Amino acid sequence: MERSITQAGSSDGSPNRVPRAADTTTADATDWGAILLGLGLVMLCLIVYFISQPNRTNPYLHFVLQAQSWLDGQTSIPTPGYQDVMPILDPAGQSTGRGIIPFPPLPAWVLLPFVAVWHVSTNEQLLATIFAAIDVGIAYWMLGKLPVRPAIRLSTSIFLGLGSVLWYAAAIGTTWFWAHIVALGCLLLSVGLALSVDRDAAEPRPAADSIPAVRKIGWPGGWSSVALLGALGVSGELLVVLAGAGTPVGWLTVLGAAMGALAAALAVVVAGRSGVLAPFAVTVVVVAGIPALFIGGAQSATLIEAVDALLAAAIVALWWLSRRNSAAVDRALASFWTALSAPESVQVAAGILFGLAVTARLTILFGFPFLILVGGGGTWLRRGILAGAGAAVPILTLLVVTYATSGHLFNPAYDYLYRIELGYPFGYNPDWSITDLRYIPQNLMIMLFQAPQIMPDMKGVYPGQGDPVCVVNTTRGLFDAGCPLAMPNAIGMSIILTSPAYLMAPFAWLPARLRRLDRATVGATIAVLGIGIVNLMHFSQGWVQFGYRFSNDFAPFALILVALGASRIGRLRLFLLLVAASVAINFWGTTWGTTLGW
């Protein structure tokens, strides 16, 4: 088993840690070689993604239409004439020509600056290509927080970018894949931040040590935090009651903002320092403020002029202060950065980013146990509360936005679409709910064992239907659309078959043979299983796809297991072979996807 490369220092506050010689390998110093390598990896993936898709048109514009509707002062979208839109009916039961999409709002929120310029002509597919390449760079940064060799760090990043279904998602870039790409970037940032302030998270320790540690943990923040948690619980119940009573959205917005303030106060009390408010402030300005200005500016030119005037005044004031007392300005900026980079603040930021990922892909919520086990705070309880306080803000925003759009806290479009999608040909049961335990067996077969179509007779997305193949030419080819040797299965394909490098993940548990465990492995495993099981309960596992696109939801956690597993088994050549096989298979699948127009 390859020995871990221990990262320097324990920013998590772990006691009695003795530095070792290996600690000279530290991620704290600026490694320009790694930065350049990461940028090169982003450019490589960007080029590959770009040339993989000769057709830049996007037939599904759910999120573009949603962003444009926000700019137009509407919450619903004009009915586009394709699936996954719940029509809004008038009192007579007739369509109003507008509808509600069932998807969480962050992917549309990210598109706002682009739609403000290009409107409905915004090329979501091209943006998917760019953002997916950036995701790979974020993954390379995240993996740098693990005690693994540079070769494994680079190979695992390549595996995500070119050996997993992220490649196919980037090449297609339609509604469902764009949501995965946006969520993946937020989740990678969240996981990377948690690892950055918990350098011991991936160091195996005797399993028995965790039992007395749990017993000694006291409640952080004392009675103040208990009172704040109680207030949050009561407020949450009130939110549900008011929503059920049809309360105007303005009142629910005020209540949601108050609950966000309570969450921020809880973080301050638990951390014991007001500096944890810094990531909340950054989030309000960047994630909420800037896009909101695009919406407000589209409604009022006066607002834009006022904001421009305020910005100009702020710039002048900052210039004047820097001329009069530059030292004071430098101290203020340094103090803000110190507050922002404290372990507790970083854990709050990790929670905020995790919550943002949930507002793009809901099932990511079930990966939260990772942030309880890994991150800044010193104990599992403090880590969990700090991250939870951060995650609460975007999740509360999600509830309020959903209520403003649909009149419900939980989007009713899901259930509506489930009831009308009777044409779904793969095990749909109208007597079951949209998410049901009874769907797991058939969906697990898709996730782990679904094979491609070998020597197919028909070319279509439905089994046994479509245009006949090998009519003119009977010689089958690997990429011959007229007479294929094999084709991807539209229902999905085995994650093991399409990305065999995932086979390295179980080897992350090798220290368990010596009754030693590390929190990163345990947390990542729980997150993968939590997200995976909930996805498997959903009636549909995605469709008209190569591979298993839902794997993007837990990919950041799975990458941790892959990297640690490859490091601990100590078989670099085997790992490189599996990565190469993954890249070759995804090249085949992505080529077929674009050839078939999926």
In this predicted model, what pLDDT tens digit does every residue of 124-145 receive, in sequence order?
Answer: 999 999 999 999 999 999 999 9
Which of 7-16, 56-65, 291-300 has the largest mean confidence?
56-65
Among 287, 267, 265, smallest CA distance to 342 is for 267
pLDDT of residue 593 exceeding 60, the answer is yes
What residues contact residue 186 under an 8 Å CB cut-off, 6+ apart? 106, 353, 354, 356, 357, 360
Residue 217 confidence (pLDDT): 64
Asked if the model's pLDDT at residue 18 lies above 70, the reply is no
What is the mean pLDDT of the segment spanning 290-309? 79
Reply yes or no on whether the pLDDT at 425 is more than 80: no
Tell me the CA end-to-end span of the chain in Å, nearest whole number.
Answer: 43
Of 567, 500, 495, the C-alpha closest to 528 is: 495
Instruction: Tell me whether residue 213 is exposed, middle or buried, using C-beta atoms within 10 angstroms of its C-beta: 0 to 12, 13 to 18, 19 or more.
Output: middle
Q: For residues 503 and 501, what is the distance between their CA atoms, to the nearest angstrom?
A: 5
Share of the chain above pLDDT 90, in %: 69
- What's the pLDDT score for residue 214? 56
Give the pLDDT band (50/70/90) at residue 17: very low
Euclidean distance between CA atoms 455 and 279, whole angstroms: 55
Output the pLDDT for position 201: 95
Confidence band, pLDDT 50/70/90 cuts, at residue 3 = very low
pLDDT at 114: 95
Q: In the chain, where are the structural domains located? A: 62-118, 220-415
Q: Which two tokens stand for residue 182?
A: 């946006």
Distance CA 244, CA 238 (A): 10
Query: Which residues, including other chains, have CB under 8 Å from residue 329's CB and lie 6 or more apart?
Result: 318, 321, 322
Instruction: Kindly report, residue by residue over 62-89, the tens digit of the pLDDT.
Output: 999 999 999 999 999 999 988 889 999 9
Tokens encoding 50:
């770009």
pLDDT, mean of residues 350-356: 98
pLDDT of 7: 37
Mean pLDDT computed over every residue of the chain? 89
Per-residue pLDDT at 14: 40
Crossing angle of helices 124-143 and 150-163, in 10° steps, is: 160
Strand-pair category, 516-517 with 205-206 = antiparallel
**Residues contacting residue 144 through CB under 8 Å, at least 6 positions apart:** 27, 34, 153
The number of angstroms, rounded, from the C-alpha of 168 to the middle of its chain's C-alpha atoms is: 17
368 pLDDT above the threshold of 70: yes
Assess whether pLDDT exceeds 90 at residue 460: no
| The pLDDT of residue 524 | 98
The 8-class DSSP code of residue 514 comes to G
Element (H, E) at 547: none
Pairing outcome for strands 95-100 and 205-206: unpaired
Q: Give the helix/strand (H/E) hosting 422.
A: none
Cα three-residue angle 335-339-340, rounded to 5 degrees: 115
CA angle 566, 5, 512 (to 5 degrees): 55
Residue 453 pairs with which residues in a beta bridge? 487
Reduced 3-state DSSP string for 373-409: HCCCCCCHHHHHHHHHHHHHHHHHHHHHHHHHHHCCC
Q: What is the dihedral of CA 143, 149, 152, 155, to 10 degrees?
A: 80
More confident residue, 23 or 222: 222
Give a three-class secondary structure readout of 128-187: HHHHHHHHHHHHHHHHCCCCCCHHHHHHHHHHHHHHCCHHHHHHHCCHHHHHHHHHHHHH
Q: For 302-335, what is the HEC assignment?
A: HHHHHHHHHHHHHHHHHHHHHHHCHHHHHHHHHH
For residues 78, 79, 83, 85, the Cα torsion angle rounded to the nearest 10 degrees is: 70
Cα 72 off chain centre by: 28
